[in-house]
Structure 1
Amino acid sequence: MFKKPLSDLKTSAPIRGSDRRRLKQRVIDRYEITPEVGEQLVPDGMLSQKFSTHLDELGVVYLSQGGDPLWFTIGKGSDELIPTVYTLWKHPSLLPIVSTPAAVIPKLIGGADLMIPGVVQHVSTLEAGQLVAVTQYHPSISKHNPNDSNNPTLVPRIGPPLAVGRMALSSAELRSRANQDGEERKGKAVLVLHTWKDWLWDMGSGKKTDVPKPREIEVGDAEGGPVLVESDDEEEGEGGEGQAEGDENGASKPDDVPAVVEDAAPRPSEPEACPKVILTPEDVSHCLRSALLQALVTTLNSLPPSSFPILASTFWTTHILPARPAQALGTHGLADPSEIDIKQSTHKSVKVFLKACAKEGLVKLKENKGDVLISGVFPAHPAVAAHRPHKTVGAVQAKLERAEERERKEREAEEKKRGEIQVTELWKPFGSTVGLFVTAGKSSQEYYTLSDIREFFNAYISERNLVNAREQQYVNVSEDDALSGAVSVKGEERPEFLKREDALKRIKENMQSWHRIGIDGGDVVTKKGAVKPISVVVKVRQGRKAATLVTGFESFFLKADYLAEELRKVCAGSTSSKASTDMEVMVQGKQIQAVTDFLISKGVPEKWIEAEDQTKKKK
C-alpha cells in the first residue's frame, strides 16, 4: 500500500487535547490495553496529516511530536486505527503474530502480500479480516536446564514486527490449505498494509533506528497466552505475488508475552527455518539422473537434429546443471545445488556418468580425439515417460533473477520519481460551487484534486438519490438547488438532467483553478491558476536561421541564466535569455529533443513539456 510515494500529502496539523484523549481511549478499547500503555502509544503533542496513496486511497496518519508515524486509517471516513511498525516496536504484543522466513521479508517490503506457503507460524485463533503483525521466523534456541543438565530447554523466540496486514482467511482455513498439495495450497494468507522501510516508515526517523533483537519467551511466562502454530511445510514461502501474515486477537496486556510455540509436526532438532539436506553419493547420482530425464522432457526434446553432436562439457552446463532438482528427491528439505555435483556422486566424472546413461539407452555417445560427444538423445525412452517433473535449480534461479530485475526497475522508477518535480492540479470552490460544498458539509476554503471532487460528487448524488432511475448515467440536477446552481452556465437555462461526467466537468469548470508544484524533500509552492506547461518551440529567426525558444520554465524552479548556460553546453551552440511577457531562453538551431531531454533530467515530467516545430508548418 505504501510501496510507492504518497500522491497527495497534506500539511500536518496539531491534534487538540480533547481529540487526543478520544484517540487514546479508542486505542485502549480496541486493543484492550491499560491506560498507562495507551498514554505511551498515543503521547502528547501528536499531529495528524491527511494523505492519498498512489492508488488514490484516502487516509489519515497520526504522528508523534518528533514526526514518527504511530497510527493510520485507510478509506474515507474510516475510524479503524491501524498501528504502524513504530508502534509495534514499542508494544510488540499489540497484534497477533504470523511469522515467515527471512527470504520473504524483502518481498513484503517490495509490495507483495504473504502467500500461504510462506507462513511458518501463526496464531491459532485468527479470523479473516483480522489485523496481524508479520515477523521474521527465528528458530528456538537451546538453553541449559538447571533441573536436568542432560536435556537442555528449547526457548522459543519471536522476531520484531516488520509488517502489518489483514488476514485473507482464518487460521483454521490456513492450516487446512497449508496441508493440501498443488493448486489447493496456493493463495494469499495476509494482505499487507504497511511494512518496515516503506514510504510510511520513511516519514519518521527509522533510518537511524536498528531493528530490535528477537524476544525469548519462557514457556512458564506465557501461560494462558495465545498459541503460535507452526506450519508443516519446510520450504521457504515464495514472495512473488504475496507476502507475510501476522495477527493476534488484540487481547494484550502491557507485560504479556504474546505466544508460546506449539509444533504442528516435530522438526528435526530445529536447526533453521529451512533445513538443507545432506546427500549421499547415491543421492547425488539419483538427482543427476533425474536432471537428465528432466532435460530430455524439456530442452533436449525440442532440439533439432542439426544441433548434434554436442560437446559433453556444453551438454553438461547447458542442459544437465540447470535441470537439477531444487528440492532433494524423496525429502521435504531444500537441496544445495553445490552438493549436487558430479564429484560428489558415485560416478566422480561427467564422462563416466554419460557412459552409464548411454548404457541405459538415454543418450548416444561417440568419442573424437579424446573428447566425448553426444550424438543423439532418446526422449521416447520408457524412463523419460515415467519421469515425474520437478522444480529445477534453473527455474528457481531464473525466478530470482526476474524478481531482482523487477525490484531493480522499481527502485530506479522510485528514485526517478523522488527527483521528479511533483505537479498537482487543484480546484477551490468558487462562485456558484461554494453553496454545493457548504450544503455537503465540506470546507469551501480547501483545495481539491480531481479525484477528491469526483468522490465528493458521487457521494453527494448517491446520498440524495439524484441518479436517474431509468438511465443510471444521468443525474437529475434540477431536483437539488445547490447542485443545479453548481452546474449552471451563465447565459444558459439550467438543465433538468445531465450525464454524470458532464455534470462533474461543469462543477470543475465553475471552481477556481490552482496548482501545487514541489520537489520531494524540498519546498512546495501552491499558486492560483492552472499550471502552464513549458513551451519548447522552434521558429525561424533573422531570415532563414532556426532557433529553439523555451518559455514557462520558472514555475518548475528553473532560472533563465542557469538554463541558458546549461543548454549552451548540452546543445553546443550559443544561447541567450531575455525578459518579455515571460522569461525566455533562446537556443541556436533546432534543438527540441536536446532541450526536452535536459528538462526531463532536471525533474520536469514529460507531461508538462509541450514541443512544436513551427518551421515544418511553413513548408
Structure 2
Amino acid sequence: MFSRAFRVRSNTAIKGSDRRKLRADVAAAFPSLSADQLTELIPNKEELNVIKIYSHKGEAVTVYTNHKNPILFEIERALYPTVYTLWLYPDLLPAFSTWPPVLQKLAGGADLMLPGVVVPPSGFPQVEQGTLCAVTLLGNRAPVAVGVATMSTAEMLAAGMKGRGFAVLHTHMDHLWEYGDKSYPPTLAPLVTDSAEKKSTEDEEETEGKEPGSSSSDPLQHVDVGDLSLKETLMGKEELSEKRAAETAQDDSTELQQEAEDSRTPQEQMDALFHQCFFHALKCKVKKSDLPLLTSTFLRSHMFSCCPAGQQLDIKKSSYKKFSKFLQCMQQQKILQVKELNKGVESIVEVDWKHPDVRAFAVPEGFASASAAQDSKSEDREQGYHAPEIIPLYGVSTRLMPLFQESGHKKGSILSSSEVRNIIINYVKTNELVDETNKNFVKVNAILCDCLLDKSEQEEISNLKWDDLLSRCLERLQPLHQVTFYGQEPIVRKGNLEPIDITIAQRSSNKKVTIIKNLELYGLDPQCVANILQQKVQASATITPVPGAKDRVQVQIQGNQIHHLAKMLLEEYQLPRKYIQGLEKAPKLSRKK
C-alpha cells in the first residue's frame, strides 16, 4: 500500500476528545496492551498528530503520528500498527518469519507467498483467515512488515505451503516508514516457546537417566537440523564440534554473569538498564547539533535503540517511576541540563560529554559495530543533499525564428544564454549591421525590426544598443530551465524555475506562522525540512497541501522563523540566494543594552 509515494491532504494536531477516543479504539483493537502501554503509545500531553493521506492508488488512509513517527494507520475504520509501534511491542501480533532477502520484495509492494515463510520447530501460531499478523526476519523478533492472513494456519499446511499467505499492507523501508525518523529495527532475540522448553526438559531427563559412559561421542547426534544454518551445514564435524564447545563455554560464562545480576532486585536491574542505555545514547547517538532535544524524543529514538536484545525499558519498573525524575537525577550530577523551552515541554539543552561517567562508559560488545553502521547511515542521510545545478535556457519562439534560421536553428531549439549571445553577435557581423559612426549601436534591419520591436517602435527606432538588443532577444525567447540533481540526469522544464517562497501569515490570537513552498523543486523533502526546523526552533510544524496546486505541499511552522530558514537554506543546503524569495521579511533583532 505504501510502496509508492503518497499525497498528504492534511496534517493537524489531535484534540483531547479525539485522543481519548483513539485510546479506546486501540484498546479494543489490541486488548493485549496494558494500561501503561496504552498511555505510552497514546500519551496525554505529548505531541500527537492525525494525517489524512491518499495512497498512489487513491485509497484514503488516516495516519497517527507521535513525534513525527507514524504509530498507527487506519483504513475503513480498521486500525493497524506501524513497524515503529511493533518495535516497541514486538509481541502485539502473531508473527511469521521469512528470509532476509524477501524483505526487499515486500517493500516493493509484493505480498508474502507461503514458500517464503519459514516453518519453525515449534510450529506456526494458530490464526484464522483475515487475522492481522506481523512478519519478522529469521533470527530477529523485531517485525518488519504488517499483513493480513489470506487463509488460516490449517489451510496453509493443507495447501502444502504453496500460494499467497499474507496480503502485506506496510513494511520497513516503504514510504510510510520513510515518513518517520527512518530508524532501523532493533535486534530482538526470538522467544523460547513452551514446546521448545518442554523438549529441552525431556532431553535433560533422558540424559540424567543414562549412564555417563553411554552418552554419544558425536556432537551432531542431538543437534536439531532446524537449528543449523547453511554455514554450519557446510562445516565439517570437527569445526562444528569446536564451535559448539566455544559456544557452550560462552553460555556458561553468560549464565554465571546472569546469576550475579539476578541477585539484584528487579527494580535495581531496571535502574541499571536505564543508566546503561542513557550513557550509551549520549556517547553514540546524540550529537551537539541535535540540541536542544525533546526529552521524549531522546527516550524513544535514542535510548530505546540502545536497549540490549531481549530486554525492554520500563520506567514504571524502576525506582524513578517517571522519566523526568530520572533526568533530574542526571542533571543533579551535572551530566546534562534540562529546560522547559515551551510550556509543558522539556528539552535537553546541554550535555557535558567530558563528564567522567560519560567518558568511563564502555559500549557493550556487539553494539559498537551496529552503532557505527547506523551512525554512518545517518551521516549519509544528513550529508546526502547536494544543491542542484540550475541553468536558465531559452527556446526559439515562432516570432524569433527568422533571426535564428541563418544559424541553423528551428522553432523549439533549446539554447543557453551564451549561445544566444554568440548567435546574435554573428548575425549582426555577418549582415554588417554595426553602426559605423558608433560601434556601441546596431542598425535595425527588417528582420530585427519584426522580431524585436513593438509596432509603436518600428517607425521610431533605427538603432539599438548591444545590451538592449540582447535583452530584448532573451525576453522574447521561450523561458526554460535545466535542473541537475546530484547523480541524476539533467531535467529540462518549461518556464522559469519558481523560487522557494517564504511568507509570514497571521493566524488567530495575533499569532504568526512561517509558510515555505516549492521545496520539492529543489530536491528537498518538505517533511524532512519540517522535522529539522521543529527540532531547531522547538515550535510546532505541519505539512499541508498547497491551495490550487496538485501534488504539492507546504511547510507551516509557528512564529517568524526566517532567520533559521535562511541559515539552513543558504549555509547548510548551499542554495543560491536568488532562488529564495522572502528572506527580507526576517524579524529585526533587538539590540542588547
Q: Please give the TM-score of this superposition, normalised by the length of structure 2.
A: 0.38
TM-score, structure 1 normalization? 0.37
Higher helix share: 2
